[in-house]
A = this chain, B = another copy of it.
């Protein structure tokens, strides 16, 4: 099953009409490794769907978050960014490149989950958690900053 077929199936599962626009937008976010902004999604899908509108991208992304097909990711610069990966995972924020990289680690998840279970937080129904690691990307060979 290709990515569009998969998107179509997901859309119908949550009760959304599987329009062309929704399918390509969902596929774009899910394939993306970059935690893309609405603008980035727009530029990507526009290549094969030149008539698609930026407003539609904004609206559709919000609908997808509502339906739990994708999630929002927090970004320092105040731009909206989305994440096709659901479930608990962690993020590395590069202070120099502004990239947001996924950092998946089962051991870390277990570690935190166990901690949270032990240390009950009053009056809070925990939904998800994510470790945000802020650091500087360095060049592996020369140990200098990457621009």
Binding site for B on A (CB under 8 A): 72, 74-76, 78-80, 92, 94-95, 103, 105, 107-108, 111-112, 115-116, 119, 121-140
Chain B residues whose C-beta falls within 8 Å of the C-beta of A111 in the assembled complex: 111-112, 115
Given A74-B132, A130-B131, A132-B74, CB of A137 within 8 Å of CB of B115: no
* Bound form: Cα–Cα A75–B57 in Å: 21
A124 adjacent to B136 (CB under 8 Å): yes
Query: How many copies of this kind of chain does the complex include?
Result: 2
Chain B min CB distance to A64 (Å):
15
Chain B residues whose C-beta falls within 8 Å of the C-beta of A107 in the assembled complex: 115, 119
Q: Of residues A95, A112, A140, which shows the largest number of chain B Cβ atoms within 10 Å of its Cβ?
A: A112
* Bound form: Cα–Cα A115–B111 in Å: 9
A105 adjacent to B119 (CB under 8 Å): yes
